[in-house]
């Protein structure tokens, strides 16, 4: 019996082909953007892991990208923002449907303290998600964050400069974000499954975020 014939006799779902998207192996959070969900393993954000969002210029639409998830915050659990480059504009967030009562803003004075605060938030099991702006973090720090996200079953959205794409990362999902003709261009740099050969373009209307 040939290898192909032998594989064909195995139960459906047991064999994974390289051309297929892999499963995330954990909770999945729909992004709220159908075109992006179609390109992500499991059809959404990994719910207990790092998602790296690589962007050089804040304000290209990175928060609007996360807005559907921010609107679905679990009652009684924190949305923690650590070290954002600009102070969030509360009226715009509230008008966009974000529950300000659940938002916890932390501005650590040093990169080491920002990394520590991110790990603590992930491991607390009290957060629906953590957003962290950590421009300088080494591979060992990234591994600790990934382990903390897994153990706390909490998604971490990690904002870093685009040059970070040259650095190895344990994050299962890495996206590069940039503006393109009034839309947000999303290049899928890393996902569980085949390489993406074309970017995803999203028209985002919450320009105030």
Domains of the chain: 26-202 (3.40.50.300)
Q: Smallest Cα–Cα separation from 70: which of 127, 145, 151, 119?
A: 127
Check whether 163 has a pLDDT greater than 60.
yes
What is the band of 68 on the pLDDT scale with cuts at 50, 70, 90?
very high
- Mean pLDDT across 9-22: 50
pLDDT in tens, 114-157: 999 999 999 998 999 999 999 999 999 999 999 999 999 999 99
Radius of gyration of the chain (CA): 18
The pair of structure tokens assigned to 128 is: 């629906």
- Mean pLDDT across 37-51: 97
**Which one has a higher pLDDT value, 57 or 17?**
57
Lowest-confidence pick of 82-86, 95-99, 141-145, 202-206 = 202-206
Q: Smallest Cα–Cα separation from 88: which of 112, 62, 49, 68?
A: 62
Mean pLDDT rounded to a whole number for the chain: 89
Check whether 14 has a pLDDT greater than 60.
no
User: What does the pLDDT read at residue 74?
Assistant: 82
User: What does the pLDDT read at residue 73?
Assistant: 80
pTM (predicted TM-score): 0.87
- Mean pLDDT across 158-181: 96
Say what percent of the chain tops pLDDT 90: 77
pLDDT in tens, 181-209: 889 999 999 999 898 889 999 998 765 57
Check whether 13 has a pLDDT greater than 50.
no
Residue 183 and residue 168: Cα distance in Å, rounded?
28
User: What does the pLDDT read at residue 186?
Assistant: 98
Check whether 76 has a pLDDT greater than 90.
no
């Amino acid at each position: 019996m040939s290898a192909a014939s032998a594989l064909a006799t195995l139960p459906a779902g047991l064999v994974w082909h390289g051309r297929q998207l892999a499963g995330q192996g954990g909770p999945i959070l729909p992004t709220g953007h159908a075109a992006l969900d179609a390109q992500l393993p499991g059809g959404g954000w990994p719910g207990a892991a790092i998602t790296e969002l690589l962007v050089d210029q804040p304000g290209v639409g990175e928060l609007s990208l996360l807005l559907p998830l921010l609107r679905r915050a679990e009652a009684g659990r924190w949305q923690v923002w650590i070290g954002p480059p600009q102070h969030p504009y509360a009226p715009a967030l509230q008008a966009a449907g974000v529950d300000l009562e659940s938002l916890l803003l932390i501005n650590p004075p040093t990169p080491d303290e920002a990394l520590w605060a991110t790990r603590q938030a992930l491991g607390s099991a009290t957060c629906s998600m953590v957003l962290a702006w950590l421009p300088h973090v080494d591979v060992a720090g990234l591994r600790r964050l990934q382990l903390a996200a897994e153990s706390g079953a909490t998604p971490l959205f990690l904002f870093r400069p685009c040059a970070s794409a040259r650095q190895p990362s344990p994050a299962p999902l890495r996206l590069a974000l940039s503006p393109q003709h009034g839309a947000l261009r999303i290049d899928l740099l890393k996902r569980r499954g085949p390489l993406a050969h074309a970017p995803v373009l999203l028209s985002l209307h919450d320009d105030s975020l």
